[in-house]
Chains A and B, each alone.
Chain A
């Protein structure tokens, strides 16, 4: 079996790669979103703490 045959998936390329492609993309986006949320949370916490520190 060569690579072009492999990617062709016997005519089902769109369905097979469409399934795995979207699944992997969903995982990647979720990982990025969780990382982003952590960064944002830490940033907000620092802001809140600094504001509290100024008013005290």
Chain B
């Protein structure tokens, strides 16, 4: 296979590639999301303990998982940009941050709406919830730091450090339900498997994969704008047909 992968690590070529790839992620994301919702609401049975309220799980668990994964990937890209001085990796980190923040927000929001009927409280200062809130603040801090420094390369380096240091929070979120005695229930999906009803699993995994594809589509779309902003006034940008018209 004679694919020159390094070719696509250049913003110039990645810009075009990203544009072509977006629909291949966006459409399956939309379709899988609808399928997941259908299974989650019409196929999955009512829960014996939590009645219909448990259906919040199908959006709460995927968005929580993704808020953590996106952070690690963002920190990974930021670290690559810091170590190898590759511009595109830093741009990808910047493109992922807003989506990650939104998933952290959805996780907290749906968690509050699930916690109220089940625990009787919208919010408790428990290890799982607090570490997830810190994750949201880390995303917002990353975005704010990036925006506050004029020189993009300096902004990349400063925010990369924040992202790398902040990544210690992710295992804390994941293991918080084991390490501390928390109100939050244990993991729904464990490495050792799950005891969930098959339709519940199907609904949750469909929405999880849909959200994954959505994240990829959104970050590709966003990184295209970031590339154009940072490469403004270069010949290749001014030569693009969408700029020329």
Listed in ascending order, the chain A residues whose CB lies under 8 Å from chain B are 6, 9-12, 14-16, 18-20, 22-23, 26-27, 30-31, 34-35, 37-38, 41-42, 44-46, 48-49, 52
Who on chain A is nearest to B231 by CB? A45
CA distance A48 to B53 in the complex (A): 53
Instruction: Show 12 A/B contacts (Cβ-Cβ < 8 Å), sorted by A.
Output: A9-B55, A12-B52, A15-B56, A16-B113, A19-B60, A19-B113, A22-B109, A22-B110, A26-B102, A30-B218, A34-B221, A35-B221
CA distance A11 to B46 in the complex (A): 13
Residues on A with beta carbons closer than 8 Å to the beta carbon of B110: 19, 22-23
Known: A19-B110, A30-B98, A30-B218. A49 touches B59 (CB 8 A): no
Smallest CB separation, A48 vs chain B (Å): 6
Q: Are B225 and A41 in contact (CB under 8 A)?
A: yes
Dominant secondary structure at the A interface: helix
Smallest CB separation, A24 vs chain B (Å): 9
Who on chain B is nearest to A43 by CB? B243
Q: Which 7 A-B pairs have the closest CB atoms?
A: A19-B110, A12-B53, A9-B52, A10-B52, A15-B113, A41-B225, A19-B56
CA distance A38 to B110 in the complex (A): 30
- B51's contact among A6, A10, A19, A34, by CB below 8 Å, is which? A10
